[in-house]
């Protein structure tokens, strides 16, 4: 049975489960949840070494819309390789994915820390599950999650605009994650409720 908590208590609980084993044996925490659940927010509270599964998404202009968020379309094999490299205490080069071009736009070196966090829709996917030491599932009501995404679109943080994003949220993002949510939640050590 996973331990359950709210977003305010989550960092303390996760850190207690993710005790580093030494400078050359980093601990990897995977955080998943649906769009807008608070994955990035929580990840930033936990570590300076954060990898988003967003960066492993396919180029959208080369991918049919219903398949854009599928884990099979993401380069999760590369994510697994990057995580293994970081766990060995070595820097890794990860792809950069842009929410304005909806494509990869280069690469970035990332250096390991005692606590490494991978966050995103498919952070608990089987492809790289063996690299995860602590698995976290975070959830929030759909209306709250959409309001967070809408804010990002209205303020220009993301590049679609509200109407296109709303359609993608309901027709692609929600059902794609929903098809795997039960498996991810079952695999989690910690389940977080984020209603704020």
pLDDT, tens digit (0-9, with 9 covering 90-100), for 40-75 = 999 999 999 999 999 999 999 999 999 999 999 999
pLDDT at residue 176 tops 80: yes
Strands (E), the chain: 3-6, 27-32, 49-52, 92-98, 103-110, 115-119, 134-139, 190-193
CA-based max dimension of the chain: 48
What is the model's pLDDT at position 190? 97
Q: Could you tell me the CA-to-CA distances from 19 to 9, 65, 108, 115, 182 in Å, in that order?
A: 17, 40, 27, 8, 27
Distance (Å, whole) CA 14 – CA 28: 11
Q: What is the pLDDT of residue 195?
A: 85
Q: What is the pLDDT of residues 93-109, one digit of tens each?
A: 999 999 999 999 999 99
173-189: average pLDDT: 96
Domains delineated in the chain: 3-193 (3.40.50.300)
Nearest Cα neighbor of 177 from 117, 137, 134, 149 is: 137
Residue 15 near residue 91, CB atoms below 8 Å: no
**Triad 134, 137, 138: Cα angle to 5°:** 130
Backbone angles phi, psi at 102, to 5 degrees: 55, 45
Q: Give the count of beta carbons closer than 10 Å to the beta carbon of residue 133.
A: 19
HSE (side-chain half, CA atoms, 13 Å) at 137: 19
| Position 30 pLDDT exceeds 80 | yes
């Amino acid at each position: 049975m996973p331990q359950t908590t709210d977003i305010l208590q989550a960092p303390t609980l996760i850190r207690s489960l993710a005790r580093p084993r030494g400078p050359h044996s980093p601990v990897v925490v995977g955080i998943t949840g649906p769009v807008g659940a608070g994955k990035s927010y929580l990840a930033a509270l936990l570590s300076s070494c954060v990898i988003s599964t967003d960066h492993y998404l396919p180029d959208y202009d080369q991918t049919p819309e219903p398949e854009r968020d599928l884990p099979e379309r993401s380069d999760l094999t590369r994510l697994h390789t990057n995580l293994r490299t970081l766990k060995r205490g070595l820097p890794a080069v990860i792809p950069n994915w842009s929410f304005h071009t909806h494509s990869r736009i280069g690469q970035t070196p990332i250096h390991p820390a005692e606590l490494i966090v991978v966050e995103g829709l498919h952070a608990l996917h089987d492809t790289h599950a063996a690299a995860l030491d602590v698995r976290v599932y975070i959830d929030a009501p759909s209306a709250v999650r959409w309001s967070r995404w809408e804010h990002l679109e209205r303020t220009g943080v993301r590049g679609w605009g509200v109407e296109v994003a709303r359609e993608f949220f309901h027709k692609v993002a929600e059902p794609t994650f929903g098809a795997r949510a039960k498996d991810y939640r079952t695999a989690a050590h910690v389940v977080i409720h984020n209603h704020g």
